[in-house]
Amino acid sequence: MATFLLLHGAFCRGWVWRATTDRLLEEGHHVEALDLPTSGSNPARLAGLADDVAAVTRALEEAGAGTVLVGHSGAGMVLAELADHPAVRHSVYVAGLRPQGGQSIADMLGGETPDWMVVRPDEGVVQVSDNADLVRRTLCADVKEERFLRDVYPGYVMTSLRSFADPCSTPAAGHPTTYVICEQDHAVPPEAQEAMAATADHVERLPSSHSPLLSMPERVAHVLDTAATAS
């Protein structure tokens, strides 16, 4: 039995982990899916990377030593900041951004905004495009369109522009890491994931889009259970 903290990426909240959480709970694990302060529905209340790190640090203090920290997509920035946290026994990046020291999300995007994102500089936020089909094809191509339009797309929220600019300090890892490569990803190219996974202790691969936690949660739960056992 393990304790998991699950972190969502940009434009999401903890709900994206719901199905994976259910499967981990069925296996007897302790699980918490956090809502990070860089994403939400109120632009005035959105924060930066340091605030995400602070929120996760508080959760780790409550969870205690031996926690498995899991980050999807942009939440990899938080995992990288907490690479030496003593309460973390294993970090798992699920198609996660794994920066080098001093890199920001904007740096990792090459300084360009992908066509499925929209920047609203006056409000200091980034959000997904109003072209739902483009967003589905990029993030969730293996989620059926009807379900995506009903259950997923309405749940996307804004993310602070500041969080895209904040650099990551990336301390040296003090615990093992697993990188989960999503082989059909159209948001973070698989070749980029291969490069970020090169220094991970363990590498897993899923035949999924960018969001396997939505399309194949049972497979994700199995990978997380394996990571907990390995550590």
Domains, the chain, in order of start with CATH, read 3-230 (3.40.50.1820)
Helices and strands (H and E) in the chain: how many: 10, 10
CA separation, residue 229 to residues 24, 66, 104 (Å): 13, 11, 32
Residue 230: band (very low, low, confident or very high) from pLDDT cuts 50, 70, 90:
confident
Q: What is the pLDDT of residue 80?
A: 98
Q: What is the pLDDT of residue 151?
A: 97
CA separation, residue 124 to residues 9, 37, 39, 153 (Å): 18, 14, 12, 21
Q: What is the pLDDT of residue 52?
A: 98
Q: What is the pLDDT of residue 141?
A: 98
Please enumerate in sequence order all residues whose Cβ is within 8 A of that of 170, keeping only pairs 6 or more positions apart, or say none: 80, 81, 83, 99, 100, 101, 102, 103
pLDDT at 231 over 80: no
The answer, as to whether pTM is greater than 0.85, is yes
Torsion (CA) 25, 180, 130, 122 in degrees, nearest 10: 100
Q: What is the pLDDT of residue 6?
A: 98
Q: What is the pLDDT of residue 111?
A: 86
Residue 33: band (very low, low, confident or very high) from pLDDT cuts 50, 70, 90:
very high
- What span, in angstroms and rounded, lies between the C-alpha atoms of 30 and 32? 7
CA separation, residue 213 to residues 47, 106, 139, 162, 218 (Å): 25, 24, 11, 26, 8
Q: What is the pLDDT of residue 97?
A: 98
Q: Per-residue pLDDT tens for 56-74?
A: 999 999 999 999 999 999 9
Considering the chain, what percentage of its residues have pLDDT values greater than 90?
97
Q: What is the largest CA-CA distance in the chain?
A: 47
On whether the CB atoms of residues 206 and 221 are closer than 8 A, the answer is no
Q: What is the mean pLDDT of the chain?
A: 97
pLDDT at 27 over 90: yes
- What span, in angstroms and rounded, lies between the C-alpha atoms of 197 and 211? 17
pLDDT at 143 over 80: yes
Q: What is the pLDDT of residue 77?
A: 98
HEC per residue, 201-224: CEEEEECCCCCHHHHCHHHHHHHH
Mean per-residue pLDDT for 170-181?
95
pLDDT at 47 over 80: yes
**By C-alpha distance, which of 84, 83, 85, 90 is closest to 67?**
90
